Amino acid sequence: MTPTPRTDVFASLNAAQARAVRSNAATVAILAGPGSGKTHTLTSRVVYLVDTLGYQPQDVIVATFTVKAAREMTERMGKALGNGREKKIVLGTFHSVARRYLAAYGQRIGLNQKFGIADDGDSRAIIARICKRLQLTVDPPMARGWISKKKSKGTELSTPVDAKKAATVKGAQMQELETLYQEYQDHLERSNLLDYDDLLVKCVELLRKHPSCVANVQAVLIDEYQDTNGVQYELMKLFAQARHRITIVGDPDQSIYGWRSAEIRNLHRMLEEYPKTDQVALEENYRSSQSILDLSLTVIQQDTKRYKKVLRPIHNRGSRPVLRRLRTSAALSRHIEHALGKAGMAYKMVGGFKFYERMEIKVLLDYLRVIHQPENNDALGRIINVPKRGIGDVTVKALIEEAEKSSMSLYNLLDKHCRGDRIAKTKIMKVAEQKISGDLLRLIRNTRKRVEEISQGTPFGLVEMIEYVLTQLKFEQFITATYAEDHETRWANVQEFIGLAADFVKDLDKLGDDSLPEIDGLQQSKEMDVLPKFLSNVALASDVLKDGDAEQNKPLVTISTIHAAKGLEWPVVFVPSAYNGSIPHVRAEDLDEERRLLYVAMTRAKTLLYLSCPLYGSIHGSGGEKQELSPFLSPVAKFFARKGPCFDRPVMSEVARILQRTLPPDETIYKSIPPMTMTDDDLFPEDPEEVAREVRKAGNATEGFAYDDRRPKRPRLYGQASSMSGEEEQPWQKGYATTMDQASSFTVSKLPGFVSAGSAQAALAAAEKAAQQKKQTTQITKKSVSSRPTNQRSIMGFIKPTSGAGQPPTVTPTATLPVAPTTYRVPHLPNAATHVSKSAIDPTLTSHTRGAGRLSRPTQPKREPEEFKAKQYTCFSSSPTKPPVAEGDENEEPPEPTRPSGSLHATTMNMPKGLGGGFRRPAGLAREGGIAPMERLRKPFKPLTINRN
Ligand SMILES: Nc1ncnc2c1ncn2[C@@H]1O[C@H](COP(=O)(O)OP(=O)(O)OP(=O)(O)O)[C@@H](O)[C@H]1O
C-alpha cells in the first residue's frame, strides 16, 4: 500500500535534532536537558526509520516511561506516517511491551497463557499475609521493597551501594527475607500471577532462551532512559539482540526514580558496551523563558558531581520566577482543590490516588479478575464477603489456607464442595457452603459461560459483562447501604468505570490490536478476549489520556505530583511548600535526587513560575514550627522576585510570545475581571512577618487577635471564564505535536488518579437522583568513536563532571538576575505567529485599574477574634490562617492547625508505606472537618476529592 502524503519530518527539527534523527550509527544516545526536544527527536527518528529507511513498523520497538507518553508518540507518528502504520509499531511502557511478548510466547518458558497481573495492592496483601502466617519479624513494606529491588536490579549488575545495603540486613533477617521471597514467588505461581517486576524478569528469561521471538526487530528506541533500572537495561539489549540498533534519549539531571531502582549508571554501561555510540547533545531549550531556565539551572548546578551540559534558552527573558513567603502554604492537594472548586475552576488530579484503587472500583475489578481467572485466590478472597454474605475475615483466611492445604484453588475447592464433592470436610467449608453457594459461585460460573458463548454469537461484551455483574450483585443498593455518606460519588465512579470500559473497547479498534508481528516459523498464542486485555491495561496503566476531554480540549488546572509531571510542560507552574522537610522531604535518603526533583518541577514551566514557602508549618507535618526555605533554594533565593508580575500588557505580550500564541485583545483578557480590580500579585504581602509586626505596632495586637495576611475586600481576579479559554483566542498551531500539545487534557488518566468532568457530572446526577429517591422510598443498600561534527559538544560532558572551564555556567552568582549572553537568539520559530495587538487598552476597559507598581498597604482593620475566625478562607497553596503569635510569645507552642502539611512528590522513602512512606492522602470527604459531600455535590464545577493520595 502506498503511504499517504506525509509531513516533512525535518521541518520542525534544529540541526542537532536532525543529525540525531538521520544518524547512521547503530546506537545513538541523545542526552540533553529539559525542554530540548528529546521526545520530539525520538519520535521523529521513528518516523524517519519507517518512512525514509523503510523499516517495517512492526519491527520497531519503542519503550516509553508512561502510558501517556506512549499514546502521544503514537498520535504524532500517526500524523506523520499515515495509513495507520503507527499502530503496528510495538510501542508502550517496558511493562506493557514485556506483557505482550509474554502473552504471545510465554508458554515457551512454562507460563500459563492466562496469567494475570498482581498489582501493587495484591503484592502488598500477599506479602503481609505470608509474614503473618510464617510469623516473620520483617516489616512487610520493607520486605516488599527488598523483593522488588532484588528483581529489578537485573542479573548483570551488582553495585557497591547494594552490597553496602545488604550488609546492613543482618543474617537472621536476610534468612527471613529469602524465605518470604520464595513463598511469595510460589504463591504468585500457584495463582498464575506475575507482579510488575516479574513481567520484566520473565520477559528477560524468555528473550534469553528464545531470541527468535525478537528476530524481526530492526530498531529499539527508549525514552526517559535515565530512569531505566537494571532489568530494563537487560531487556533493552535483548529486544535489540538481532541487530543491536538502539536509540536512547534521556537527561541524568531528571533522574528521579532512584527510589524505584532506576540506575543512573546505565548510561555509562551503554557507552562502555556500545563504544561506537553516536552521541548527540541538544543544547537549546524550546520550552521555558530565559529567566525560568536560568534559575532552574542555579538549582541543579548546586550538585557539583553532576554531568554538566549546556542548555540555552531560545526564548526571551520573560517574567522573573517568583519565590513567595506566605504565612502558611499547605501542600495538601485538598486545599488547592478546594480553592479551585470555590473559584469555579475546573481541574484534574494526576499522580494521586489511583482511580481503580477506590474501593467500589477495586471490588468490581476483583469480580472481573475472578471471572477471568478463578484460581486467583487473593481476588476471590477479597470479594467473597462483598457484598456481605456473613463470612468474616477469619473464615476467609481459613478458607484460603484450606485451599492451599488441598493444593487447589479456592474457587475449585468451593465449587466442588458446593456441588457435593466434599474434599475438605471441615466446619469452615460447611459455613462457606451455606453462605456462598447461593450466589457467588453461580455468578462467576454463569458469567464465564456467557463469555464462552460469545463465540456462538451472543453479544456479551465487556460492558455487558460489567452491567450483568452489577445487576446480579445489586451493586447500587450495596453501595447505598454501605457508604451512606458518599454513595452518590461512589456510584458515579462505577458509572465512570463503565464508561472507561466502553472507551477501552472502542480504543481497541482505534489503536489497533496489540498483538506482535508474525515471525516465520514461530507460533504465537493469541489473546482473543477483551477482558484479559482490559485487566492488564488497568494493572499497567498509570496515566492515560482521556480522549473525551482531549477532544473537547477543556481548559483545566492540573494538580500533579512532581513525579507524574515528568516529561510534561505547562504555561504556568506553581510549586507550593518549598520548605526544608518537604523538598528535600524529611524522610528522603538521597538529597541529590530531591534536588533533581525540584529541578524537574521548575523546568516544567514555560512562562510563569511561582514557588512558595510557608513561614509556619503544621502541627502534624512540622510541629507548627517556623519553616526554613528549602536548602536548594536558599542560596539562590535572591534571584527570585518576591512577588509575581502585574499582568499588564508588556507582561502579557511576553507570555504570548513565549507561548507562541496570539495575544488576545484586552477585552478578552480582562473581561472577567471586575472594574477597579488590580492585576498585581498583591493578594498576599511580600513579607508577611513585617506586616504582622506593623499591625502589632499599630496597636492591633490584642489578645487573641488573629493575624490576617490578606488584603481586605479585594475582588477576585478569576471568574468563571478564563482569558486563556476565551473563544476569541486563536492558539498558535505547530506543524507537529509533542509531549505537551494537549497540556490541558492529556494528563487526565483514562483509568487511574483523575477526576473528570464526566465523573463530576455523573456524581451530580447521581446526587440528584438519590435525593429524589430519598423522598419516595426508605433506604436500601546510555566511550566513543565519535561521528559528531565539530560544532557538537561531546556527550561525555554528561559523564565527566567538569570544573567549569569550557563549560560556562549558565548563571552568574550575583544578586542580579543572570543575564543571558548577547549571543542568545530571540526566538525564530518557523511557525511562530506572535501578533501583538494594539498597545492601548480598549476604551471600554478604561474603568479597570491595573496596578503598575508597588501599592501602599491598606490599613488592617481591627478585627475581633470571632469575626476573623468566621472569615478564614483557603486559597491556592494556603492552609487556614493561624492565630498570631504575640510578641514575646514566639517560643510558645503555636496553636494546632486544622490540617497536616504534605508534599506532592514521592521520596526515596515513599515506597514502603509501612515505614511511614507513601504520599500523604488528603482526607476523604467524610473526614471530620471536611466538606460535607452533599454540599460539594450540589455545587456546579465542584470537583470530587474522595480518597485521593
Ligand atoms: N526544533 C524545535 N522547534 C520548535 N519547538 C520545539 C523543537 N523541538 C522541540 N520543541 C518544543 O519544545 C518543547 C519540549 O519538547 P520535548 O517535550 O520533546 O522536550 P524534552 O527534551 O523531551 O523535555 P523533558 O526532558 O523536560 O521532558 C515542546 O513544546 C516541543 O514542541
Ligand 1 centroid from CA 72, angstroms: 13
Which tops the pLDDT comparison, 487 or 164? 487
Cell 522513602 belongs to 909
Name which residue sits closest to atom 24 of ligand 1, judged by CA. Answer: 34
Which amino acid, 752? P
What pLDDT is recorded for position 155?
57
What pLDDT is recorded for position 717?
34
Query: Given a cut of 50, is residue 832 above it in pLDDT?
Result: no
Identify the burial level of 510 via C-beta atoms within 10 angstroms of its C-beta, where 0-12 means exposed, 13-18 middle and 19 or more buried: exposed
Q: Is the CB of residue 285 below 6 angstroms from any atom belonging to ligand 1? A: no
Which tops the pLDDT comparison, 368 or 486? 368
The CA distance from 323 to 299, in Å, is: 13
pLDDT tens for 284-338 read: 999 999 999 999 999 999 988 777 778 899 999 999 999 988 887 755 666 776 6
Ligand 1 centroid from CA 237, angstroms: 27
Report whether 35 belongs to an annotated binding site.
yes
Of the ranges 369-378, 589-598, 723-732, 770-779, which one carries the lowest mean pLDDT score? 723-732
Q: Is the CB of residue 14 below 6 angstroms from any atom belonging to ligand 1? A: yes
Identify the burial level of 641 via C-beta atoms within 10 angstroms of its C-beta, where 0-12 means exposed, 13-18 middle and 19 or more buried: middle
Which tops the pLDDT comparison, 704 or 611? 611
- In the sheet that holds 605-614, the strands lie side by side as 322-326, 605-614, 570-575
pLDDT tens for 557-577 read: 888 888 888 888 999 999 988
CA neighbours closer than 13 Å in the CB half-sphere of residue 908: 16
Ligand 1 centroid from CA 12, angstroms: 10
Grid cell in block for residue 883:
492565630
The CA distance from 723 to 734, in Å, is: 21
pLDDT tens for 344-369 read: 777 777 654 556 678 888 899 999 99
Q: Show Cβ contacts of residue 937 under 8 Å, excluding neighbours closer than 6 positions.
A: 488, 489, 763, 764, 767
What pLDDT is recorded for position 460?
65
Q: Is the CB of residue 37 below 6 angstroms from any atom belonging to ligand 1? A: yes
- Which of 36, 39, 40, 311 to probe ligand 1 with, by most ligand atoms within 8 A of CB? 40
Name which residue sits closest to atom 1 of ligand 1, judged by CA. Answer: 13
Name which residue sits closest to atom 11 of ligand 1, judged by CA. Answer: 286
Which tops the pLDDT comparison, 782 or 320? 320
Of the ranges 138-142, 876-880, 906-910, which one carries the lowest mean pLDDT score? 876-880
Q: Show Cβ contacts of residue 767 under 8 Å, excluding neighbours closer than 6 positions.
A: 488, 489, 934, 937, 938
Name which residue sits closest to atom 3 of ligand 1, judged by CA. Answer: 12
What pLDDT is recorded for position 106?
93
- Residue 738's nearest CA partner among 41, 47, 48 is 41
Which amino acid, 834? T
Report whether 32 belongs to an annotated binding site.
yes
Name which residue sits closest to atom 14 of ligand 1, judged by CA. Answer: 35
DSSP assignment of 594-615: HHHHHHHHHTTEEEEEEEEEES
What pLDDT is recorded for position 456?
55
Report whether 38 belongs to an annotated binding site.
yes
Q: Is the CB of residue 286 below 6 angstroms from any atom belonging to ligand 1? A: yes
Grid cell in block for residue 724:
486563556
The CA distance from 837 to 638, in Å, is: 34
Mean pLDDT of 484-495: 83
Q: Show Cβ contacts of residue 104 under 8 Å, excluding neighbours closer than 6 positions.
A: 213, 515, 516, 524, 525, 526
pLDDT tens for 901-918 read: 334 454 444 333 333 333
Neighbours of 384 (CB within 10 A): 22
Name which residue sits closest to atom 27 of ligand 1, judged by CA. Answer: 567
Assess contact for 607 and 293: CB atoms under 8 A. Answer: no
pLDDT tens for 174-214 read: 888 999 999 999 889 888 899 999 999 999 999 999 999 99
What pLDDT is recorded for position 262?
61
CA 564 from centre of chain: 3
Ligand 1 centroid from CA 783, angstroms: 27
The CA distance from 426 to 404, in Å, is: 14
Question: Which atom of ligand 1 approaches the CA of 600 most closely?
Answer: 26
What pLDDT is recorded for position 893?
37
The CA distance from 32 to 223, in Å, is: 12
The CA distance from 419 to 411, in Å, is: 12
The CA distance from 272 to 275, in Å, is: 5
Assess contact for 625 and 581: CB atoms under 8 A. Answer: no
SS3 category, 663 = coil
Q: Is the CB of residue 34 below 6 angstroms from any atom belonging to ligand 1? A: yes
Neighbours of 727 (CB within 10 A): 8
Ligand 1 centroid from CA 347, angstroms: 24
Ligand 1 centroid from CA 606, angstroms: 11
What pLDDT is recorded for position 607?
96
CA 275 from centre of chain: 35
Q: Is the CB of residue 43 below 6 angstroms from any atom belonging to ligand 1? A: no
What pLDDT is recorded for position 638?
93
Q: Is the CB of residue 39 below 6 angstroms from any atom belonging to ligand 1? A: yes
Q: Is the CB of residue 287 below 6 angstroms from any atom belonging to ligand 1? A: yes
Highest mean pLDDT among 686-700, 898-912, 928-942: 686-700
Q: Is the CB of residue 296 below 6 angstroms from any atom belonging to ligand 1? A: no
What pLDDT is recorded for position 533?
83
Quick check: ipTM above 0.95? yes
Q: Is the CB of residue 738 below 6 angstroms from any atom belonging to ligand 1? A: yes
Q: Is the CB of residue 35 below 6 angstroms from any atom belonging to ligand 1? A: yes
Task: Please give, one letter per residue, the 3-state secondary structure of 512-524.
Answer: CCCCCCCECCECC
Ligand 1 centroid from CA 567, angstroms: 9
Ligand 1 centroid from CA 41, angstroms: 8
Question: Which atom of ligand 1 approaches the CA of 568 most closely?
Answer: 27
Ligand 1 centroid from CA 33, angstroms: 10
DSSP assignment of 533-563: HHHHHHHH-SS---HHHHHHT---EEEE-HH
Question: Which atom of ligand 1 approaches the CA of 36 most closely?
Answer: 21
Name which residue sits closest to atom 31 of ligand 1, judged by CA. Answer: 738
pLDDT tens for 431-481 read: 776 666 667 878 888 888 777 666 555 556 888 889 989 998 899 999 998
Neighbours of 501 (CB within 10 A): 24
What pLDDT is recorded for position 402?
79
CA 822 from centre of chain: 38
- Phi and psi at 658, nearest 5°, equal -65, -40
Q: Is the CB of residue 33 below 6 angstroms from any atom belonging to ligand 1? A: no
Ligand 1 centroid from CA 830, angstroms: 14
Name which residue sits closest to atom 23 of ligand 1, judged by CA. Answer: 35
Report whether 39 belongs to an annotated binding site.
yes
What pLDDT is recorded for position 851?
37
Tell me the β-bridge partners of 32: 282
Question: Which atom of ligand 1 approaches the CA of 736 most closely?
Answer: 31
Query: Given a cut of 60, is residue 900 above it in pLDDT?
Result: no
Report whether 565 belongs to an annotated binding site.
no
Q: Is the CB of residue 251 below 6 angstroms from any atom belonging to ligand 1? A: yes
Mean pLDDT of 879-903: 35
What pLDDT is recorded for position 144?
87
- Residue 577's nearest CA partner among 349, 323, 338 is 323
CA neighbours closer than 13 Å in the CB half-sphere of residue 779: 10
Q: Is the CB of residue 255 below 6 angstroms from any atom belonging to ligand 1? A: no
Query: Given a cut of 50, is residue 418 above it in pLDDT?
Result: yes
Question: Which atom of ligand 1 approaches the CA of 604 most closely?
Answer: 26
Ligand 1 centroid from CA 610, angstroms: 22
Query: Given a cut of 60, is residue 765 above it in pLDDT?
Result: no
Q: Is the CB of residue 604 below 6 angstroms from any atom belonging to ligand 1? A: no
The CA distance from 627 to 328, in Å, is: 9
What pLDDT is recorded for position 571?
95
Ligand 1 centroid from CA 756, angstroms: 27
Please work out, in degrees rounded to the nearest 5, the angle formed at the alpha carbon of residue 551 by the alpha carbons of 549 and 555: 55
DSSP assignment of 813-829: -SSSPPPPPTTPPPP--
Mean pLDDT of 932-942: 30
Outline where 734-792 has alpha helix (H).
757-776
What pLDDT is recorded for position 737?
35
Neighbours of 890 (CB within 10 A): 9
Query: Given a cut of 50, is residue 936 above it in pLDDT?
Result: no
Report whether 800 belongs to an annotated binding site.
no
SS3 category, 194 = strand
Q: Show Cβ contacts of residue 117 under 8 Å, excluding neighbours closer than 6 positions.
A: 99, 193, 194, 195, 196, 199, 535, 536, 539, 540
Rg (CA), the chain: 29
Ligand 1 centroid from CA 98, angstroms: 28
Name which residue sits closest to atom 16 of ligand 1, judged by CA. Answer: 37
Name which residue sits closest to atom 26 of ligand 1, judged by CA. Answer: 34
Q: Which runs of E-coded beta strand occur in 83-132?
A: 90-93, 116-118
Ligand 1 centroid from CA 223, angstroms: 13
Assess contact for 914 and 601: CB atoms under 8 A. Answer: no
Report whether 36 belongs to an annotated binding site.
yes
- pLDDT averaged over every residue in the chain: 70
Q: Is the CB of residue 313 below 6 angstroms from any atom belonging to ligand 1? A: no
Report whether 623 belongs to an annotated binding site.
no
Ligand 1 centroid from CA 300, angstroms: 20
